[in-house]
Structure 1
């Protein structure tokens, strides 16, 4: 296989071609890394609610920019399936096995990659074990790891709340729930980051994640524990080894996405004195801040991916069977058709796209919310006087195809 996908006037049937434009917009590369919102808005002006784009390796896709079109895709798995085995570019050999798209778009034996009865069976198992995990003390684990991370810098008077805090707390909590040792959880922080970042190491790090979970599943077969791995192995849905491994991977990747959400919540709190004072005084809840971030800076900016099960019209474009669609959660949440004034408060409105929608809506969203609430609460109580150490306009972000992450959040506090 190779990843040289032709595009432009000579593209084969089904390649989404930007009619009248010399080159399709890329969701990767220097511009995409620094100004993804600018790309989204330019595409919206040029193409409307659905736009042809290129992913890494020159792979064509349709980016869904409109809120209502995203909901249509997410709510209709028969028209827009998650099963990548119908992806034309994959079937016709234009996707290399080493493509950085494979960890995010390729078919796997998990509930994310399937629809219908196979999806219901596997998702039911994941939902059951996640619910059991809540009963085993998500908040207790979050409190433990939040305090442990703070202990490492509490005496210094300064920290980077991305690298020293947000990158680790959700990952360590879910590693404990999954059944991993803390050291293994810390090792997997980099691997999850590389999977979402893409690039030449994405497949290597994805393999590392699956290797660790394969070893965990084997241990738990002979040494059951009170963890999610054991729960999946013992579930009445009778998951096989690969299904268990891939679902442990899904949960860990979701925890990594939550690290971005935590960083964004802390950024909003520390760059707005009224929100910080509101949280400290109890006049504002952390969940309200999370809700605002979900609308304005969703932790996953672009959701991979759906595949057209047949020829269909969407957003004024003809989408052909086997075409790849990626869902713009960030541009969808800012769609002027549903938010003509983005500055208007979204308090109490939970109709954002940040958790997806339809049959594949994230089943662990309450766990993510709990971890963030605890992490923010512990931080503000442990470090009174916490403040941003640089001007807010000096904070920068770096985007990949799938997310836009805060680079650093330097803070200082009295000791």
Structure 2
């Protein structure tokens, strides 16, 4: 199976706190797309480090805003499970099968959806597969595709680095890693973005991704190669076809969205600060320092789905009930005043951010993503002479969904 079937929705609320739905803040909806930071600040003032919220479709959840509370949740899977089959609102039939949250929260036979020994078995296969993939020329693939994309606009003198570069480069590299034809890259990039964006199209695009990946796994089972898909199929852990496809989906969606989003934010930092730009071009500044700043200030996932309370407990001064859904505010946690009282102070050399989660479910492919970004920035700066932002920095805008905030565009000019 590709995901756990859901029960028919039943009447009733399912709210984790004793408030009416009208009293809770909606994290997704009209008016919230561009002011997530303001929402987090207000929630922190009103509720402290943990706040009751409504997700898309008025699904209740606890949003963890505090850094220390987030680490407690992420580091303790026995207390806060990743297994969505324990989600009380799902068990009691309050979550519709067509909910756009299901692609992000629904149970699947992958390592992210399970804890304990089941998680260790599957995570081991993923780690081994990604390790093998990272040794087979990730930087070479990134260099090839970066030059190919830049070549499509290098003679024009201007470009939108989001729509013409950052939205496609990571997916093109991932097609090589997974063993897909590069021609699938643009279609998969579009679908992966829309799965995280939510809305009525999320399930449709999730289905499109699953169809492509199922065909890939079936083909590689009879025609294996030196790719991540073949490595999963041949791994001693003995993954079945559903487990293989689910992990291909996990790596594709998580790897693509986090890398493309972080790449855009890194370039935004570089192009809105002449000192950073000149430092990188001259070699006096390392791109790792810029990535660290971006991972603290604008992590690629603003909100991480999801954890489920294994028993009644207290968190951030609130009583959380068994089966309640918790989502982790990674952006909010990274600017928690208790651990970062002055967000303007440099965080260079500090890697304790929440950008890649933490604990046993910490992102296994972060090194691959960072390698792609290093190459992408390096090739861009050395191919395009006189690269500069084409609009005032304050005109750059972002659009937020439940899970992320994406830079809308990054218009640049350069010498021909």
When normalised by structure 1's length, the TM-score is 0.97
Asked if the contact 2:100/2:198 (under 8 Å) is kept, the reply is: yes
In structure 2, distance between residues paired with 1:123 and 1:319: 29
* 8 Å CA contact retained: 2:175, 2:185: yes
Q: Encode CA deviations 1:310-363: one digit per residue, 9 max, x unaligned.
A: 000000000000000000000000000000111111010000000100000001
1:159 counterpart residue number: 159
Q: How many residues align?
A: 409
Instruction: Assess if the C-alpha contact under 8 Å between 1:301 and 1:328 holds in 2.
Output: yes
| Offset, 1:185 | 1.8
Give the equivalent residue in structure 1 for 2:3: none
SS in 2 for 1:33: coil
Note if 1:256 corresponds to 2:257: yes
Q: Distance in 2 between matches of 1:325 and 1:54?
A: 11
Alpha carbon RMSD of aligned pairs, Å?
1.2
Q: In the alignment, which residue of structure 2 is the partner of 1:194? A: 194
Q: Separation in 2 of the partners of 1:58 and 1:38?
A: 20
Contact 1:175–1:181 (Cα < 8 Å) also in 2:
yes
Separation in structure 2 between the aligned mates of residue 81 and residue 271 of structure 1, nearest angstrom: 41
Counterpart residue number, 1:60: 60
Report what 2:44 is aligned to. Answer: 44
Tell me the TM-score normalized by structure 2. 0.96
Measured in 2, the distance between the counterparts of 1:414 and 1:185 equals 29
Residue 274 to residue 17, structure 1, CA distance change in 2 (3 Å): farther
* Equivalence map 1:4-15=2 (5 Å): 6=12, 11=13, 15=16
Paired position in structure 2 for 1:407: 408
Partner of 1:215: 215
CA distance in 1, matches of 2:168, 2:95: 33
Give deviations 1:185-207, integer Å, cap 9, x for gaps.
22101100110000001011111
Q: CA deviation at 1:3?
A: 5.6
Q: Is the 8 A contact 2:62 2:326 kept in 1?
A: yes
Equivalent pair of 1:5/1:58 in contact (CA under 8 Å): no
Runs of 4 or more, structure 1, over 4 Å off, are: 1-6
Q: Which residue of 1 aligns with 2:124?
A: 124
Q: Indicate whether 1:357 and 2:358 are aligned.
A: yes
Report the Cα distance in structure 2 between the residues aligned to 1:211 and 1:243, rounded to whole angstroms: 14
The SS at the match of 1:176 is helix
Post-superposition CA distance 1:123-152 (Å, at most 9, x none):
000000100011100000000000010011
Q: In structure 2, what is the Cα distance between the partners aligned to 1:40 and 1:56?
A: 16
Contact 2:257 2:300 survives alignment (8 Å): no
Is the contact between residue 32 and residue 401 of structure 1 (CA under 8 Å) also seen in structure 2?
Answer: no
CA separation of 1:414 and 1:260: change in aligned 2, threshold 3 A: same
- The answer for unaligned runs of 5 or more in structure 2 is 1-6
